[in-house]
């Protein structure tokens, strides 16, 4: 779990550096690098949420084993009581999605490689993301009932 932030920063920073600094790269390659950075950030967001869910299942089992000695991470007098158990992951995911947005914005605004208007590309990409979201959401709703017998 602690390797994901370093991996995300290295991947994003490296791809941004490659797209922005390299003078001999074609526009198409720069566009692809920024798109890869954005898609990687979105994928890492899903990965980190999944890892957090797996860790939560371990914490649940540890708590069930010996409840009096379980340290749940909530102090008696919290300084930020509005931050719950998934707050760090939520903040990290928000930052990763912001970085993905910057990658996509830079790719379409600065390095759009086609003669066709970049707005057609933005619309197509948005439609693709919406389609993927609907496919994933439909699978999540279908599996929400638990494993079938």
Q: How far apart are CA 16 and CA 13, in angstroms?
A: 5
Q: How many CB atoms lie within 10 A of CB 16?
A: 17
Phi and psi (nearest 5°) for 27?
-60, -35
Give the pLDDT score at 98: 93
* Mean pLDDT, rounded, for 24-38: 88
Same domain, 55 and 127: no
Opening angle at CA 131, ends 130 and 133, nearest 5 = 65
Identify whether 76 is part of a domain. no
Structure-block tokens of residue 16: 């941004």
| 75 falls within a domain | no
Q: What is the pLDDT of residue 94?
A: 92
Q: Which residue has the higher pLDDT, 41 or 74?
A: 41
Judge whether 80 lies within some domain. Answer: no
pLDDT over 80 at 139, yes or no? no
**What pLDDT digit, counting tens, does each position of 74-128 carry?**
777 878 877 878 888 899 899 999 999 999 998 888 888 877 788 888 888 888 8
Instruction: Give the global pTM.
Output: 0.74
Same-domain check for residues 36 and 46: yes
Alpha-carbon distances, residue 90 vs 31, 49, 87, 108, 127 (angstroms): 28, 8, 5, 27, 25
Nearest Cα neighbor of 52 from 11, 91, 23 is 91
The total number of structural domains in the chain stands at 2
Q: Which domain holds residue 102?
A: 1-65+85-113
Q: Look at phi and psi of residue 80 and say left if phi exceeds 0, alpha if psi is from -120 to 50, else beta.
A: beta
Residues 109 and 127 in one domain: no
Shared-domain flag, residues 90 and 146: no
Residue 96 domain flag: yes
Residue 78 lies in a domain: no
Q: Do the domain assignments include residue 59?
A: yes
């Amino acid at each position: 779990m602690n390797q994901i932030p370093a991996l995300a920063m290295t991947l994003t920073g490296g791809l941004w550096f490659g797209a922005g600094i390299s003078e001999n790269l074609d526009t198409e390659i720069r566009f692809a690098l920024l798109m890869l950075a954005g898609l990687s950030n979105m994928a890492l967001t899903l990965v980190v949420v999944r890892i957090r869910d797996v860790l939560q299942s371990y914490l649940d089992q540890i708590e069930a084993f010996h409840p009096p000695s379980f340290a749940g991470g909530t102090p008696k007098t919290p300084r930020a009581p509005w931050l719950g158990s998934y707050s760090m992951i939520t903040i990290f995911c928000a930052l990763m999605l912001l970085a993905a947005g910057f990658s996509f914005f830079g790719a379409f605004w600065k390095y759009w490689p086609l003669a066709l208007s970049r707005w057609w590309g933005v619309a197509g990409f948005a439609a693709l993301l919406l389609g993927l979201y609907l496919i994933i959401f439909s699978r999540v709703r279908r599996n929400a009932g638990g494993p079938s017998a």
